[in-house]
Structure 1
Amino acid sequence: MFKTIALASALVLSASVSAMAADAVYEVPAAPVAVDAPAFTWAGAYAGVQGGAGWLDGTFGLAGVGSATQDFDGGIVGGFVGYNWQFSNGFVAGIEGDLDYNFNEESALGTDIGTDWSGSVRGRVGYAFDRALVYGAAGWTATNGYVKNSALGIDENEVFNGWTVGAGVDFAVTDNMFLRGEYRYNDFGDKDIVPGLNVDLDQSVVKVGLGVKF
């Protein structure tokens, strides 16, 4: 009798363990589905700061006398804002504006000559190699030229308008921050800054920048 009870108990225990094992296998959670991280995009608004060096050449023509040239080289510091559209084939188009201050004043015979602020509005076209954006840009540019001589009572300013063209590389170090390197050529045109003195200005610029993409 004891053997019969023991055998029945063993059968019941075995069935219970088998049922629990079956339930354990059945309740194993499914493996998580891999989700691809979203691809980086240059689309959207951005803003940043920039600085570098400019090599400004001035040609001065004095009516009835002749002409002479002078270099106005110096540092540049400023900022930029813009907006990009990125297409599925990797091409990027955008528009950008910037405003800089030039430190390029030259003095001779008590007369100070130079340019202070400059700015531009440019269209940009480029190609994105993931986090690297190679681009070319062109558009309108302007700068404020001045001549000052306190002894002669001269304090004249003229805004020169012209065109700009250049190229550069933006590289995203994070999803929202990028570094920039750029070369630009500015042709500011010519004007009579004082009666009889015509001034023609053009400039080569190298800049580096730090931007934030929103």
Structure 2
Amino acid sequence: MFVRSLSLGVAAVALLSSGAMAADLIIPTTPQPIYESAGFSWDGLYAGVEAGGVFADDVAGVSNSRGLVGAVVGVNFTVADPIVLGVELQGDYLFENDNVGDAGLFLALGHVGAVVTDQVLVYAAGGFGAITQNGDSSGVYALGAGVDFAVTDNVSIRGEILGLGNFDDNNNDFFDAAKATVGVFYHF
């Protein structure tokens, strides 16, 4: 009788404890990642618009200061951790000033930049292009710098200033004008 009651007691304890364990099931969870994304990516294709002005002494027949609006398309490549290289095409419409007619400014630029923080890119730019006015076209070169600020995951704003000079400069000034712009860009 004692063995039988002991067997029933052990069986009861085994049944009750297994029911208690069933309530405490361990559900596997995935751990949180240790690495988080680095923030804004400056790599890849981008396009946008810019507005500003050209402040000219005389560059390719454009004299005095003029307002401008334009479009920009470019691509960036990160070659080392903070270093970014890029190429860019700019096409700007220069508004008429002093009844000399509207003009167009077209530039092909190369960029060398450094990512200061995840949201800030500082760069130097240089290139060449042309100014067209009244059916005439003249070659120009450009050197300058700018800074881009990321405002969302795909949108950045920019401030840029470029010195513009004539290839056929008779007065031997290195820069004959300055182009100052602000822009908004979408990064694909």
TM-score interval for Structure 1 and Structure 2 normalised by the shorter chain: 0.7 to 0.9
* Unaligned stretches of 5+ residues in structure 1: 61-69, 107-111, 147-156, 192-200
Name which one, 1 or 2, has greater alpha-carbon Rg. Answer: 1
Partner SS, residue 14 of structure 1: helix
Partner SS, residue 166 of structure 2: strand
Instruction: Show the counterpart of 1:194.
Output: none
2:118 partner amino acid: D
1:207 partner amino acid: T
1:161 aligns with 2:148: no
TM-aligned CA distance change 1:113 to 1:16, over 3 Å: same
Contact in 2 for aligned 1:73/1:104 (Cα 8 Å): no
TM-score using structure 2 length: 0.81
Contact in 2 for aligned 1:72/1:104 (Cα 8 Å): no
Over 4 Å off, 4+ runs: 7-11
- Distance (whole Å) between structure 2 residues aligned to residue 123 and residue 23 of structure 1: 67
Instruction: Give 1 or 2: higher strand fraction.
Output: 1
- RMSD value, Cα: 2.8
After TM superposition, give the deviation of residue 16 of structure 1 in Å. 1.7
TM-aligned CA distance change 1:104 to 1:55, over 3 Å: farther
Q: Please point out which of 96, 102, 106 is paired with 2:94.
A: 102
After TM superposition, give the deviation of residue 95 of structure 1 in Å. 0.4
After TM superposition, give the deviation of residue 30 of structure 1 in Å. 3.0
After TM superposition, give the deviation of residue 176 of structure 1 in Å. 1.1
Instruction: Show the counterpart of 2:100.
Output: 113
Partner SS, residue 42 of structure 2: coil
Instruction: Show the counterpart of 1:14.
Output: 13
TM-score using structure 1 length: 0.72
Instruction: Show the counterpart of 1:44.
Output: 44
Percent of aligned pairs with the same amino acid = 33
Number of residue pairs matched? 178
Instruction: Show the counterpart of 1:76.
Output: 68
Contact in 1 for aligned 2:123/2:146 (Cα 8 Å): yes
After TM superposition, give the deviation of residue 82 of structure 1 in Å. 0.5
